[in-house]
Structure 1
Amino acid sequence: MNRIIVRLARPFAVLAMATFAVPSALAQDAPPLEAYGDLPGIEDMAISRSGDYFAVFTTLRDLRQVLVLDSEQQFVHRFAVGEMKFRGFSFIGDDALLISRSQTVDAGFGFAADRYELTQALVVPLDPARDAAVVFGERPNLMNSVFGNYGIRPSGDGYRGYFGAIENRRNGTAGWSFGHGRPFLYSYDFATGEQRRIAQAPPEGARRDWLVDGEGNVAATFNISNRSGNWDIRNAANRTIAEGVEREGDVGLVGLGPDGTSLIYSEQDQDEGKHHWYSVPLAGGEPQPFLDDISVDRLYWDRDTGQLTGYYSEDEAEDADAKAADGLVMFDPDLQTRARMVLAAFPDRNPRLMDWTPDFSVVLVRTDGNGDPGTWYWVNLAARRADPIGYDRPSIQPEQVGPISTMAYTAQDGLEMEAIVTLPPGREAENLPVIVFPHGGPHAHDEQGFDWWAQAFASRGYAVIQPNFRGSTGYGADFEQAGYGEWGRKMQTDVSDALAALAQQGVVDPARACIVGASYGGYAALAGVTLQQGLYRCAVSVAGIGDIGMMYRTENRESGRNRLFSRSLREELGDSSGWDAISPRKFAAQADAPVLLIHGRDDTVVNFEQSAKMADALKDEGKPYRLVELEGEDHWLSLAATRQQMLSETMAFVQEHNPAD
């Protein structure tokens, strides 16, 4: 049997020693807090279409930059990127990079929200003699931002990109002014900068989406009314091939099918309350269920055609020791063999395919987890080799990674669920102080891997438990929807039930617990010391929600009072008459532990006012609290300095009120 030989020796190649700081010998002391709170040494990697080049978004000698190297790991190009809010990048063939970055901007009069996080697409040629360009950055009739990326497609001797664009309108002799916020679909020639409208924006009160095929043509258009929920999907001939009514807007395009002659869409079944995927021929026909009995964790797409090439599902994994390979399904048998061969080379190392050539001859793989704070590999199938080419956190040694495991437990009402447990490295797992760390979303989930925030606490002597409470993704539609109407109720007791289960095992001391979280997790932290009592010594809420009614009013206004959005949010939160009863701000008088509130001033997801109002309520009730403002920071902690500030403030607060020793 042919196998890929994985090189595990940490000193490797001139590239690593010169650029990615090969980890030094094991230090006896814990790494500095900055080793966890800083942006990772490698934020992303991408591979060119031919596999001859790869790009690394990295911090090297305190300089944040992009490096482009060839397959022999020789430098081709490098350029500094500063404090860019980096959102990802990919190659345009072999000649250029497409970098996605965002910026928080103030909105003017007439906009639904006060601030928006706008995305720009930056084209950077590999040839240093050629200038970089911003997609839509040179024409006054278009806003220099993109509103959706619909793919990069080969076109003649080059490539075209397909993006949503906001058109400006002529304002007499004064120039151009904002028209409306509904995007048109444009094509953009990366070689010449030529841009062309290829599809109209939706009418007022509607939302529209598109699928672009391998030839650069609009293969399908999705439309939905924000008022009635009536929706349809039309093919290139403007013929309706699917339609229905979805009063909460839970319907939309997934992508082109594996053979390119069909498309996949998602719709919620109103009777069952579940989401289903359907496949329908582009030429028209009866929609058929697609992967209906499989919980899909991720999808893989052909970047040239937009067609689905495969998926990953733990439902497909029969061998737990090699589930990463077993759970991967590719529709092309040759790709299936190659992709599974790649993943099988990394058993029990939480591997993920990050980028690849179309034929899977060269693949970038990232691993993390026990003994691994994040390693990137260049996999060459022809040579049957997998070589490490960089590390996310080179100053953290394998021995300094806290052990990570998954704990099954049962909630008070009998619902079975899981939690991720991270323990301090080199310390006996008995009666440990503990950090309860619920995730954000709430429609998300934590996985068994290296979590920089959890590992920071573990490095200071704390056990960390991350419950995947009801409402989390990854456990099927029934489990996710079991969280509807349960904010501050069963979703909250699911979190404390995880603490009780770990304490029952003797691993942690429940009398030495703090609760820490961000976004929804910040809400859960506040609820843990207001709606619940007697559980935690302190609470830290990062960009958390304190007032459910205020959250609803803000999000409803910022959606343009979209009725579909309003109905969907109300279903998730439950009857509005009960919102005060699940709002920590309303129960500030019952806060039984000190509270730290941390919030970014540029947060466009959870308004800063949430933390400010919670602070006022705690102050009025004479409760111990502290409010920390992160200047210029957004909801995702995108900036290194303020991310470090957040972690430093959080750690100091926890150590003050719940010391590890």
Structure 2
Amino acid sequence: MCAAAACIFAAAPGLASSAVTAAPAALAADRPLPAASFFQPPAVSAAALSPGGHFLAIREAGPKRQQVSVIDLRDNSRTVAARFADADVGEFRWVNDERLLFTAGNRYAERYSERYAPGLFAVNRDGSGYRQLAARTSRAVRSETATRLLPWHTFMLDDAGAQDSDWVYVADVRHAGAGYGYSARLLKLDTVTGDRQEIDSPPGVARYLLDAQGEPRLGVAGTQGDTGIYYRQPATGKWEVVASFKTFTGSEDSFDPLVFLPNGKLLARANRDNDKSGVYVFDPDARQLLDKRWLALPGRDFEGEFIVGKNGVRGLRYAGDDQGMWWDDAALSAMQKAIDSLLPDTRNLVELPARAATAWVLVQSFSDRQPAVYSVFNTGTGALVRVAESRPAMAPQQMGTQRMVRYKARDGLDIPALLTLPAGQAAQLPLVVLVHGGPAVRGTLWGWNAETQFLASRGYAVLEPEYRGSTGNGYAHYRAGWQQWGLKMQDDIADGASWAVGQGIADGKRICIAGGSYGGYAALMGLVNDPQLFKCGIAWAAVTDIQLLYDGHWRFNANLSKDFQQYGMPTLLGDPVTHAEQFKATSPLQQAARITQPLLLAYGDDDRRVLPVHGERLRKALRAAGNQQVEWIEYEDEEHGWSKPATRVDFWTRVEQFLGRHIGPRQAAPAKE
């Protein structure tokens, strides 16, 4: 094994030619990068080793659109395998060592919507053997080729499968009407010929899990507020219900299937008698979770991705307060130690080839200040070769620092939060309280993030609270947020801003609250409840009235499905009859006269999850109440959140200008693009 100084980013002709140059040294620290540097698509956005480990596929920026290139790690040669003239390559996956499955990504639409319609395609790693497998439109096309295509709503499964033949499993996603959720017909598909076989599957299954041999083994169905777990018997192929529980509120016996082990047992995430979720073993034959907790993360609900080999679990990529690797193998632990010694300033996540036919492993390195860098590490020689950087324009020394903090809410509840500080600054800063959407999701993970780093580059501290009702912090923390929109959830956010002032981090006279979706609702309610604390607000795709969520339009892929409306919302948000007065008191629309601060309000005109009517009615009410400090933006052909690069750049440029007018620091103008 060679010395670290000699090994790190060792020369490799083919790989070196693909490496992206470092950020310009001449860029002065007082000249922040333009918004486009943060919000344009990354130069490289994904990488995957072939099953045998001889080839590396990367999704990268091509001359016009994103493409997939393949690097042969044996001789460092490089080939463009897949590209479109009028679309980006979206998801991609190795079918086997010679063939790739991929979609035509439409960054401008939500998954499962007809506008998204990514199609399905396959190609050999050298660019030959191209075949379209699924349509990209619902319009009838009269040709022999078109009639052989699967419908536009055909998608890859989450699991890669065995990766030892030309066949893959895919899901034909069907829905029962607007707002009623969806189910998936399971198909086995030959990626060379386009032949397909329908696999018998139970009704209502929306998610399938493959076993360690790559065969369909589990189905997860949801209807009328209940989740059913179906198990496919290996001997007969018959599906049987092995578990059922409440979908939205959970129960003692509820669990989330994760991955199958080679012995046929299932690893699942569950709470059982614990506040924090952990990993348990589910025995399909006995139809029960085993009592012993198999794995847990300190102080956090379990979140991670297992690496499973032929003999069982080999390792884990986990997300706790930060992110990292755990190995249940001495040789792999030593490998990780060697990689970390070469890259001491980053978290280094490792991907192993499915079948260890080579010494190469893939390493994705990042930190709070460093966007993702992709490298390959040779376990035999100890050589680490840099392949590409996701955002080469970013200079880590100019980025903000990020850490997890915890503060007490006014009722004593511990609230975790991510705090990002501008480079070289730590006191009396203008503060943006950035509220995550959901709300029943975990907040932003530790690591480089475009939004927070953009704000930090402009001189703002950024606080991202994991208020009650967020997931990831235990069941009690999640449960404490039920029916607390605009109430204790809102107090948690305000208490975070007050904490930052008390710590000397924030200037109490320069605080703005911002967020999208539920985060936009919280931003608006922050202006209603705490006008002395928040000097301005920024809300996009924002809910402005809970009653409108009950009354609004629904579509099949929305999180707010009819099932959720009937079986989840009354418990989690409140009942429209029982809680009518509470809904009125916690409605930014109904309380519009109390919003007197400057407000930036933005929506996509094709958002079907939070309809633009939420914003239109609030805008009208604010005008009627006399607030003349409302900046309104409606983006054409945008859905729930900003998918177009041009929209992201425009929106965050407007955010920068808005903050500069109301709480911003004086600083040098951004560098020119």
The two structures have a TM-score, normalised by structure 1, of 0.83
Q: How does 1:174-213 map to 2 (within 5 A)?
A: 182-200=183-201, 202=203, 206-207=204-205, 209-213=207-211
Cα displacement (A) at 1:146: 2.1
Q: How does 1:93-242 map to 2 (within 5 A)?
A: 93-101=96-104, 103=106, 117-135=116-134, 138-139=146-147, 142-147=150-155, 149=157, 151-154=159-162, 158-166=165-173, 182-200=183-201, 202=203, 206-207=204-205, 209-224=207-222, 226-227=223-224, 229=226, 231-236=228-233, 237=236, 238=238, 240=240, 242=242
Counterpart residue identity of residue 74, structure 1? S
1:257/1:308 contact within 8 Å kept = no
- The corresponding residue for 2:140 is none
Distance in 1 between residues matched to 2:622 and 2:596, nearest whole Å: 11
Are residue 637 (structure 1) and residue 642 (structure 2) matched?
yes
Closer, same or farther in 2 for the Cα pair 1:228/1:464, shift >3 Å? closer
- The corresponding residue for 1:431 is 428
Aligned length, in residue pairs: 629
Distance in 2 between residues matched to 1:221 and 1:486, nearest whole Å: 33
2:228/2:241 contact within 8 Å kept = no
- The corresponding residue for 1:27 is 27
Distance in 2 between residues matched to 1:167 and 1:264, nearest whole Å: 28
- The corresponding residue for 2:446 is 448
Q: How does 1:192-591 map to 2 (within 5 A)?
A: 192-200=193-201, 202=203, 206-207=204-205, 209-224=207-222, 226-227=223-224, 229=226, 231-236=228-233, 237=236, 238=238, 240=240, 242-246=242-246, 248=248, 250=250, 251=254, 254-265=257-268, 278-284=280-286, 286-289=288-291, 290-291=293-294, 294=297, 295-302=301-308, 310-313=315-318, 324-325=324-325, 328-330=326-328, 335=332, 338=335, 342=339, 346-353=343-350, 356-359=353-356, 361-426=359-424, 428-442=425-439, 443-554=441-552, 558=556, 562-563=562-563, 566-576=566-576, 577=579, 578-591=582-595
Closer, same or farther in 2 for the Cα pair 1:277/1:215, shift >3 Å? closer
1:253/1:265 contact within 8 Å kept = yes
Closer, same or farther in 2 for the Cα pair 1:150/1:199, shift >3 Å? farther
Distance in 2 between residues matched to 1:33 and 1:8, nearest whole Å: 32
Question: Which has the higher relative contact order, 1 or 2, with Cα contacts under 8 A spaced 6 or more apart?
Answer: 2
1:268/1:276 contact within 8 Å kept = yes
Distance in 2 between residues matched to 1:553 and 1:147, nearest whole Å: 31
2:269/2:302 contact within 8 Å kept = no
Unmatched runs of 5 consecutive residues or more in structure 2: 137-145, 176-180, 667-673
Counterpart residue identity of residue 601, structure 1? D
1:22/1:394 contact within 8 Å kept = yes
From 77, 96, 104, the counterpart of 1:74:
77
Cα displacement (A) at 1:307: 7.7
CA deviation map 1:307-365 (0-9, x unaligned): 865434577x9xx9xx834xx144x6655554565456544523333564444943322
CA deviation map 1:213-255 (0-9, x unaligned): 355543244455x237373533324374723442647456514
Closer, same or farther in 2 for the Cα pair 1:103/1:402, shift >3 Å? closer
Cα displacement (A) at 1:533: 1.7
- The corresponding residue for 2:671 is none
Distance in 2 between residues matched to 1:252 and 1:408, nearest whole Å: 28
Closer, same or farther in 2 for the Cα pair 1:641/1:448, shift >3 Å? same
More displaced 10-residue stretch of structure 1: 17-26 or 33-42:
17-26
CA deviation map 1:489-513 (0-9, x unaligned): 2222212222211211222202111
Instruction: State the identity %.
Output: 23
Closer, same or farther in 2 for the Cα pair 1:305/1:88, shift >3 Å? farther
Q: Does the residue aligned with 2:123 lie in a helix, a strand or coil? A: strand
Closer, same or farther in 2 for the Cα pair 1:166/1:79, shift >3 Å? closer
- The corresponding residue for 1:54 is 56
Unmatched runs of 5 consecutive residues or more in structure 1: 108-112, 169-179
Closer, same or farther in 2 for the Cα pair 1:42/1:415, shift >3 Å? same
Distance in 2 between residues matched to 1:539 and 1:162, nearest whole Å: 46
- The corresponding residue for 1:609 is 613
Counterpart residue identity of residue 296, structure 1? F
The two structures have a TM-score, normalised by structure 2, of 0.82
CA deviation map 1:163-209 (0-9, x unaligned): 211589xxxxxxxxxxx96421101112222111012351xxx4454
Closer, same or farther in 2 for the Cα pair 1:298/1:120, shift >3 Å? farther
More displaced 10-residue stretch of structure 1: 117-126 or 186-195:
117-126
Distance in 2 between residues matched to 1:493 and 1:268, nearest whole Å: 27
Closer, same or farther in 2 for the Cα pair 1:495/1:12, shift >3 Å? farther
Q: Does the residue aligned with 1:649 lie in a helix, a strand or coil? A: helix
Closer, same or farther in 2 for the Cα pair 1:152/1:595, shift >3 Å? same
CA deviation map 1:281-315 (0-9, x unaligned): 3444543145375532212244x989865434577
More displaced 10-residue stretch of structure 1: 382-391 or 113-122:
113-122
